[in-house]
Structure 1
Amino acid sequence: MRLAAGLLTALLLAGCAFDADRLPPTAPLPPAAPRLTGIDRAASREHHQLVAALGGEYRHARAEQLLQQVVARLTPASDLPAEHYRVTILNSPTVNAFALPTGHVYVTRGLLALANDTSEIAGVLAHEIAHVTARHAVARAEMEQRSMLVSRVVAEVLNDPVAGEIVRDQTRLSIAGFSRAQELEADRIGVRTIAKAGYDPYGAARFLVSLSRNAELNGGASRTAPGENFLSTHPTTPERVSQAIAAARLVSNGRPGVADRDTYLNAINGIAYGEDPADGVVQGRRFQHPRLGITFAGPEGFQLDNTAQAVFGVSPDGSQALRLDAVELPPSQSLKDFLASGWIEGMTTQDIAETTVNGLPAATGVTHGKEWHFQLAAIRVDGAVYRLVYASRDSSSAAIRNFRQTLASFRRLSSHEIASIRPRRIALVTAQPGDTAEKLASRMSAPDRPLERFLVLNGLTAGKPLTPGWTYKIITED
């Protein structure tokens, strides 16, 4: 189990104490854009803790060198040309980037794999630098502190909890709008910066388009709940694309700027793509962990998310969710007693029964909250115990069936299955006369939908012919 960058919101609170009545209604989505994290108070310690929490640092000499060269070119063109920035690549397959006010900038290897030229990655880095130069993190933190103080005064000093809750709701709206405004401002500043640095100012818009298409390919667009964008801290991608194009027109002055496609592609050649098998691999609704030697599948329609704490999954309509994690348990403690000890704060596990799952000892039970019903299972595999929590808005037969099917799918991986799970990487191919997107896509070791993935990966649209002699990205296995 691993952590994805742009940390996914936990469906159940981390650790053993779960808040049963605050389960989010839908799957957490990859951020719609690069985002800003909080204020740094102890730069070195915070940096190392953050990197460790987000999958660790990914080392790729050519990519690291290129990123530092781009930052060195952007800095003099930024609003604070004397500032110093350090770029770290995070070992995460998700597409994200963010910055700390200290000048630490982070990009995931998933983002690097998606970009197609140097101006696109310059747009991402300039966006993050803009967050730093505009002091967005400080401004947001100050606003949140003021909001918390006002709501506390209303609720406690004036002894009006209801009014305090209303104030909190109103300030959440204000902060969300404030953050959206920050993102749009960072986009405008970023486009201006890359143009001043001599890069193609339209690179930012191209990458935003790829970002949106990648999210759709991975199921993000279909899993947004009604009203969820209402409090989103990021503008919608079409809004950002439109603004980025308008900003590029203002600063281009008829000069094309440098895209530097070949230099960029050569820099990311060989970079890891997708999940690191050492941390477990998600393919649609199936999770496999070759090092732990286990696998399971979520119900039909579920898209699983793998983090350091657990594997999460949510149904398309948000009415059902699951979590699988691992705990250490003394061999002498029975699984039945473990279930009875209570996982979810304030609730008692009922109907506990011992059973086996594909030859593995297990126990099951149920518990209920005000809004959510929980079906629980504990499975022992050698020295580890895996906890499966299945939450549903009701205790319908469909929810019970889905839980049982998910539990029944949990098993050991065979040695052949373990050997077949190999790392994927980005490789470069030169299009020959007669090559088509379909032909190159057929050479890919893609997790799914190879043609669509090839098009998104290369910023292409369906039906557009390839250019002989041009370099394109494909996915290969080691």
Structure 2
Amino acid sequence: MTGLGGRHRDRRTFALRLAALASVAALLAGCGSFGGEKPTPQPIVPAAAPKVAPAPTAVSQEQARIAAAYGGVYPKPDLVALLNSVADRLAAASERPDLRYKVTLLNSPLINAFALPNGNLYVTRGLLAVANDTSEIAAVLAHEMAHVTARHAFQRADEERKAVLVSRVVSDVLEDREAGAVALAKSKLSLASFSRAQELEADRIGVQNIARAGFDPYGASRFLLSMGRQSELRSAALGQKPSQPGLDFLSTHPSTPERVQLAVTAARQISAPGVGERDRDAYLVALNGTTYGDDPAQGFARGRRFLHPRLGFTFLAPEGFTFENGSEALLGVAPDGRALRLDAARLGSGQTLESYINENWIDGVEPGPVEKLEVNGMEAVTVVARGKEWTFRFAAVKFGADVYRLIFAARDLTPDIDEGFRASLSTFRRLTQAESEQAQPLRIEVATVRAGDTEETLARRMAVTDRALERFAVLNGFAPGDPLQAGLRVKVIGE
């Protein structure tokens, strides 16, 4: 929630699609800145030799877009140096040692990594939090490098062009739009299968490459297992049901069990377990101190409370809610299906809150009367609107030149539920200067296991209360019942 959804855009681009909001609960229950120093004088450049900044290339524009979408570049030189040294080692051992790669660390809690065809690799700090040794990171980077060497991006683009061409031929040449739609649907299924095949191929090539580079080839399967367990933990925290087989037939990635099995099989073809470098300590030393979860610059949650120090506000969600912070809006969901959304916009010149809420939010629902109120010294309005399946409580709070917009949704808006919504709205307030300065992110801290330590005692040290024991186990790649040995370095979450 870096800037609460483009706060200076035209207000009409913010017209909320109620169907999209109503799907928040289903989506989450079923499944990213805003000085005053005088600028340094610049030397005068003779007109005969002007300095002209090079025009941005398509690649540089794509790099900037990627960084912006993932919270910007995360500054941790020692960790980035480790990532690039691993990439160099993998490149030298690959089938294309002539290619060079550059790893960029992105400031996002999401678990993701991807590559551009020019060799730029991107890894989020959220992914690094899940990894536990250098061989696991090598597996991630080798997988992305395999996409580059196998030219998967170009192959997919070619397949997509063919799919569109086939549907146009059927629709336009044969003048059969229905048949064209069927052809396009079949092509999408084929593309999904094609993408899954690419992912499995990249997994296989990656395992072979990390082994040639001297890393433990089983690092790939260990990381995939940890990633799958982290996904399950996140789903449980959001009140989601486990994914059901067969529901992801359009997914571009194979299921985690399928990928784990392939990675284990590929590693066994190379050697038995215990061969190759893992270097857990070196990795954890470089990872130590990395931000965990949301960055305060993007707003962050502490249980049900959400704080945004840079924008200067906080509020408390109703009981049972878990937050999902995005670049466009803050979303929240409760296990019983209640949902909320928070974003920001600007009033038009001379526009009142009452006219704003009527013009922007009530399409497709039946609104009740607009109620004026004051929320902690700020002008606000609220209204209840009923749709076919969902009932919404809309609220708009004037915060300086901005309008903060909260939407609460429930399938059955009982008096008790609505009372919780109104109570949440009443907690929206400005942060004090001291609160903003004291707001600190969670960080990954490396601790050494002492004699007598257990998973329970170490989990109690963590600065989280929700599923701390499960988070500790998943964070460190521990299976149930794994013994803790004195002297072992582990990750804990601190402030």
Aligned partner of 1:144 in structure 2 is 160
* Count of aligned pairs: 458
1:452: how far off?
2.0
> Residue 487 of structure 2 is aligned with which of 451, 466, 469?
469
1:371: how far off?
6.9
- Structure 2 residue 438 is the aligned partner of structure 1 residue 440: no
> Residue 268 of structure 1 is aligned with which of 268, 287, 290?
287
Aligned partner of 1:357 in structure 2 is 375
1:321: how far off?
4.0
Contact 1:27 1:223 in 2 (8 A): no
Equivalent position amino acid for 1:70 in 2 = V
Q: Which segments of 5 or more consecutive residues in structure 1 lack a partner in the other structure?
A: 5-13, 31-39
* TM-aligned CA distance change 1:182 to 1:468, over 3 Å: same
State how far apart, in whole Å, the 2-side matches of 1:144 and 1:375 are: 42
Contact 2:30 2:240 in 1 (8 A): no
1:231: how far off?
2.1
Report the 3-state secondary structure (helix = DSSP H, G, I; strand = E; otherwise coil) of the residue aligned with 1:472. strand
Equivalent position amino acid for 2:126 in 1 = G
State how far apart, in whole Å, the 2-side matches of 1:139 and 1:228 are: 26
State how far apart, in whole Å, the 2-side matches of 1:277 and 1:240 are: 34
* TM-aligned CA distance change 1:99 to 1:154, over 3 Å: same
Report the 3-state secondary structure (helix = DSSP H, G, I; strand = E; otherwise coil) of the residue aligned with 1:230. coil
361-370 or 170-179: which moved more? 361-370
Aligned partner of 1:16 in structure 2 is 14
- Structure 2 residue 111 is the aligned partner of structure 1 residue 95: yes
State how far apart, in whole Å, the 2-side matches of 1:419 and 1:357 are: 23
* TM-aligned CA distance change 1:20 to 1:205, over 3 Å: same
Aligned partner of 2:147 in structure 1 is 131
* TM-aligned CA distance change 1:315 to 1:445, over 3 Å: closer
Which deviations, in whole Å up to 9, do the C-alpha atoms of 1:256-291 show, x marking residues without a partner? 011111111112122222211122112455422223
* TM-aligned CA distance change 1:444 to 1:342, over 3 Å: closer
Aligned partner of 2:263 in structure 1 is 244
Aligned partner of 2:51 in structure 1 is none
Aligned partner of 1:36 in structure 2 is none
1:19: how far off?
4.4
275-284 or 149-158: which moved more? 149-158
Q: Which segments of 5 or more consecutive residues in structure 2 lack a partner in the other structure?
A: 5-11, 32-55
Report the 3-state secondary structure (helix = DSSP H, G, I; strand = E; otherwise coil) of the residue aligned with 2:461. coil
* TM-aligned CA distance change 1:134 to 1:370, over 3 Å: farther
- Structure 2 residue 443 is the aligned partner of structure 1 residue 425: yes
- Structure 2 residue 359 is the aligned partner of structure 1 residue 341: yes
Which deviations, in whole Å up to 9, do the C-alpha atoms of 1:381-404 show, x marking residues without a partner? 233211123456677778766654
1:200: how far off?
0.2
Which deviations, in whole Å up to 9, do the C-alpha atoms of 1:398-448 show, x marking residues without a partner? 876665454344334456654553222222222222222222222222363
Aligned partner of 1:449 in structure 2 is 467
1:316: how far off?
4.4
**1:137-176 matches, cutoff 5 A:** 137-176=153-192
State how far apart, in whole Å, the 1-side matches of 2:20 and 2:443 are: 39
> Residue 304 of structure 1 is aligned with which of 317, 323, 346?
323
Report the 3-state secondary structure (helix = DSSP H, G, I; strand = E; otherwise coil) of the residue aligned with 1:182. helix
1:96: how far off?
1.4
Contact 1:57 1:89 in 2 (8 A): yes
Contact 1:19 1:344 in 2 (8 A): no
1:47: how far off?
0.9
Aligned partner of 1:35 in structure 2 is none
- Structure 2 residue 45 is the aligned partner of structure 1 residue 26: no
Which deviations, in whole Å up to 9, do the C-alpha atoms of 1:27-74 show, x marking residues without a partner? 2998xxxxxxxxx97112211221122111111121111111101110
Aligned partner of 1:85 in structure 2 is 101
Report the 3-state secondary structure (helix = DSSP H, G, I; strand = E; otherwise coil) of the residue aligned with 2:142. helix
Report the 3-state secondary structure (helix = DSSP H, G, I; strand = E; otherwise coil) of the residue aligned with 1:313. strand
Report the 3-state secondary structure (helix = DSSP H, G, I; strand = E; otherwise coil) of the residue aligned with 1:322. strand
* TM-aligned CA distance change 1:474 to 1:407, over 3 Å: same
Aligned partner of 2:232 in structure 1 is 216
* TM-aligned CA distance change 1:253 to 1:474, over 3 Å: closer
State how far apart, in whole Å, the 1-side matches of 2:188 and 2:309 are: 42
Which deviations, in whole Å up to 9, do the C-alpha atoms of 1:61-116 show, x marking residues without a partner? 21111111101110122232211111000011222111111111011112112211
Report the 3-state secondary structure (helix = DSSP H, G, I; strand = E; otherwise coil) of the residue aligned with 1:407. helix
Which deviations, in whole Å up to 9, do the C-alpha atoms of 1:171-230 show, x marking residues without a partner? 332222222222111111111110111100000111111111212222268356666423
346-355 or 197-206: which moved more? 346-355
Q: RMSD over aligned Cα, in angstroms?
A: 3.2
1:308: how far off?
2.1
Report the 3-state secondary structure (helix = DSSP H, G, I; strand = E; otherwise coil) of the residue aligned with 2:210. helix
| Runs of 4 or more above 6 Å deviation | 344-350, 368-372, 393-399
State how far apart, in whole Å, the 1-side matches of 2:335 and 2:181 are: 30
- Structure 2 residue 132 is the aligned partner of structure 1 residue 116: yes
